């Protein structure tokens, strides 16, 4: 048997020359074996100094989209509406497309899958989830079966960077955020990082490849790190935990999927405990292989460019996602019918009604901050108005997804009643 490689030469039209775009340019300069070249770069601000020949740049998108010699569009801008126009027009012009735009992909994945099918061109976006970690292609190819039981991931580098700096190095939240911005990890609007929007966009993309689930990010419960307090860090430390922002998807016994992004207590035994700064980590639970851990830089110019480079390399062999779990016609569905073991932390006793909990396990009050640990139905959490209050935080316990919960009449329940007297 002989193995022959038929490779396509790539002429790239690049949109955006920010941290990632410039890194990609530099990397391609040093990777002649890829036989790819950037023909033109479309930018928004022509007056900015760029570290590349001026003849490369234009502000006219049509020069890229209408050039028949350009067969790949790489979209690395951060305006997701403009990115939507670029990507859909490029696919309609039968050009292959690579994008790192999480928001665009998460919010329009159904349309983008349709365009790939209609025009028969690939759309790759490994850089959109966890930058340097090849998680999408792994879910797409290796986990093209029913083995996947769950995903737990630190998928936002900026919030992980901030939590590391604040909790381990005692920096202030605003200084840590500024550093994340200066390093080029944060979104132009850092609220997208801080409030968990970026992480839930990534979760939404992972769900499509892991389980064939198309879930608009707005339909997935998520909070960020903005509500966490210094007292929460002390509470976590006393219990031997750290707090991380974790994106979670878990297949329940009936085949439906629990999915959310929430702060989580992480114990030293958990692989995610060691994930610090801008690093990302993804633990994949498989029914045969137990746990697998993927670790790598999740933000920044070169780590993101490395994923784009890998997509470019795959395009030379005409690789495209097949969305097989979706195509199989029997995708899993998202459910809210499960319980969570959580710690709710708040300032004012009246903020969180105790009857939101199925069961209260532990209660403490220190320095004007209350921490209540209990079991709560996920639907109750989704529908509660109190969870959005600025000084209420929700932190999930390790293995906090509780299935088949039935209230047991145990000693613990007597404890509940005692606590309730104080708590009500
Ligand atoms: N702002 C994102 C993050 C960039 O911090 O993870 C990479 O997607």
In tens digits, what is the pLDDT along the chain, a chain of 424 residues? 555 556 788 999 999 999 999 999 999 999 888 889 999 999 999 999 999 999 999 999 999 999 999 999 999 999 999 999 999 999 999 999 999 999 999 999 999 999 999 999 999 999 999 999 999 999 999 987 778 999 999 999 999 999 999 989 999 999 999 999 999 999 999 999 999 999 999 999 999 999 999 999 999 999 999 999 999 999 999 999 999 999 999 999 999 999 999 999 999 999 999 999 999 999 999 988 889 999 999 999 999 999 999 999 999 999 999 999 898 887 789 999 999 999 999 998 777 888 899 999 999 988 789 999 999 999 999 999 999 998 999 999 999 999 888 875 444 444 444 444 455 4
How far apart CA 344 and CA 60 sit, in angstroms, is 51
The residue count of the chain comes to: 424
How far does the centroid of ligand 1 lie from the alpha carbon of residue 397, in Å? 25
pTM of the predicted structure, to 2 decimals = 0.94
Q: Distance (Å, rounded) from C-alpha 405 to C-alpha 253?
A: 13
CB of 157 within 8 A of CB of 199?
A: no
State the pLDDT at residue 310: 97
Sequence-separated contacts (24+) of 118-121 with Cβ below 8 Å: 119/91, 119/92, 119/94, 120/94, 121/91, 121/94, 121/95, 121/96, 121/97, 121/320
String of b and e for 20-45 (b: at least 16 CB within 10 Å)?
A: bbbbbbebbeeeeebebebbbbbbee
* Residue 156 Cβ < 6 Å to ligand 1: yes
Question: Who contacts 79 (Cβ-Cβ below 8 Å, separation ≥6)?
Answer: none
| Residue in 193, 195, 277 to alter for ligand 1 test, most ligand atoms within 8 A of Cβ | 193
The residue among 155, 39, 93, 121 whose CA lies nearest residue 319 is: 121
Residue 408, class by beta-carbon neighbours within 10 Å (0-12 exposed, 13-18 middle, 19+ buried)? exposed
User: Phi first, then psi: what are they for 147, rounded to 5°?
Assistant: -75, -20
Q: Please state the φ and ψ torsions of residue 245, each to the nearest 5 degrees.
A: -90, 115
Separation of alpha carbons 209 and 182, rounded Å? 32
With a CB cutoff of 8 Å and minimum separation 6, the contacts of 172 are 166
Widest CA span of the chain, in angstroms?
77
- The question of whether 297 is a catalytic residue gets the answer no
Helix, strand, coil % in the chain, rounded to nearest 5: 40, 25, 35
Ligand 1 atom closest to 156 (CA): 6
Atom of ligand 1 nearest to the CA of 128: 8
- Of the residues 202, 250, 297, 325, only one is catalytic, namely 202
Q: Which of 126, 156, 281 to mutate to test the pocket of ligand 1 (most atoms within 8 A of CB)?
A: 156
Q: How far is the CA of 124 from the centre of ligand 1 (A)?
A: 18
What does the pLDDT read at residue 33?
A: 87
CA of 105 from ligand 1 middle (Å) equals 14
Asked if residue 299 has its Cβ within 6 Å of ligand 1, the reply is: yes
Task: State whether the beta carbon of 298 lies less than 6 angstroms from ligand 1.
Answer: yes
Query: Which atom in ligand 1 lies closest to the alpha carbon of residue 193?
Result: 1
Could you give phi then psi for residue 70, rounded to 5 degrees? -85, 120
User: How many whole angstroms from 220 Cα to the centroid of ligand 1?
Assistant: 19
Q: Is 400 in the pocket of ligand 1 (CB under 6 A)?
A: no
Q: Is 13 in the pocket of ligand 1 (CB under 6 A)?
A: no
Residues with Cβ < 8 Å from 344, sequence gap 6 or more? 352, 371, 372, 374, 376, 392, 393, 394
- Candidates 187, 234, 198; CA nearest to 79 is 187
Distance of CA 171 to the CA centre of its chain: 25
Burial class (CB in 10 A: 0-12, 13-18, 19+), 152: buried
* CB 107 near ligand 1, within 6 Å: no
Taking the C-alpha atoms of residue 167 and residue 185, their distance in angstroms, rounded to an integer, is 19
Substitution site in 158, 188, 190, 203 for ligand 1 pocket (most atoms within 8 Å of beta carbon) = 158
Cα-based torsion angle of the residue sequence 151, 335, 266, 142 in order, rounded to the nearest 10 degrees:
0
Confidence at residue 4, expressed as pLDDT on a 0 to 100 scale: 57
């Amino acid at each position: 048997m002989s193995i022959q490689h038929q490779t396509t030469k790539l002429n790239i039209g690049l949109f955006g020359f920010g941290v990632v775009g410039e890194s990609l340019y530099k990397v391609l300069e040093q990777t002649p074996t890829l036989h790819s070249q950037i023909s033109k770069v479309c930018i928004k601000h022509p007056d900015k100094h760029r570290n590349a020949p001026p003849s490369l740049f234009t502000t006219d998108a049509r020069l890229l989209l209408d050039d028949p010699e350009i067969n790949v569009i790489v979209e690395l801008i951060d305006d997701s509406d403009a990115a939507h126009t670029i990507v859909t027009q490029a696919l309609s012009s039968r050009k292959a497309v690579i994008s790192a735009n999480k928001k665009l992909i998460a919010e329009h994945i159904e349309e983008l899958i349709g365009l790939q099918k209609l025009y028969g061109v690939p759309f790759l976006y490994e850089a959109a989830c966890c930058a340097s970690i090849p998680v999408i292609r792994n879910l797409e190819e290796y986990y093209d079966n029913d083995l996947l039981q769950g995903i737990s991931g630190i998928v936002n580098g900026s919030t992980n960077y901030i939590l590391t700096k604040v909790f381990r190095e005692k920096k202030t939240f605003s200084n840590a955020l500024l550093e994340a911005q200066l390093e080029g990890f944060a979104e132009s609007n850092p609220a997208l990082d801080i409030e968990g929007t970026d992480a839930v966009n990534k979760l939404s993309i992972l769900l499509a490849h892991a389980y064939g689930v198309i879930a608009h990010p707005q339909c997935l419960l998520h909070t960020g790190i903005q509500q966490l307090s210094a007292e929460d860090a002390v509470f976590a430390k006393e219990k031997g935990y750290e707090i991380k922002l974790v994106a979670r998807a878990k297949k329940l016994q009936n085949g439906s999927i629990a999915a959310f992004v929430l702060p989580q207590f992480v114990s030293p035994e958990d692989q995610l405990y060691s994930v610090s700064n801008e690093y990302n980590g993804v633990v994949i639970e498989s029914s045969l292989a137990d746990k697998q851990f993927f670790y790598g830089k999740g933000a920044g110019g070169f780590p993101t460019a490395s994923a784009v480079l890998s997509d470019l390399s795959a395009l030379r062999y005409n690789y495209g996602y097949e969305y097989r779990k979706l195509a199989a016609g029997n995708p899993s569905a998202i459910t809210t019918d499960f319980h969570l073991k959580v710690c709710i932390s708040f300032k004012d006793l009246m903020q969180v009604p105790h009857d939101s909990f199925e069961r209260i396990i532990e209660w403490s009050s220190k320095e004007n901050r209350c921490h209540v640990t209990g079991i709560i139905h996920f639907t109750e959490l989704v529908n509660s108005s109190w969870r959005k209050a600025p000084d209420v935080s929700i932190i999930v316990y390790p293995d906090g997804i509780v299935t088949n919960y039935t209230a047991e009449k145990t000693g613990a329940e007597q404890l509940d009643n005692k606590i309730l007297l104080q708590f009500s």
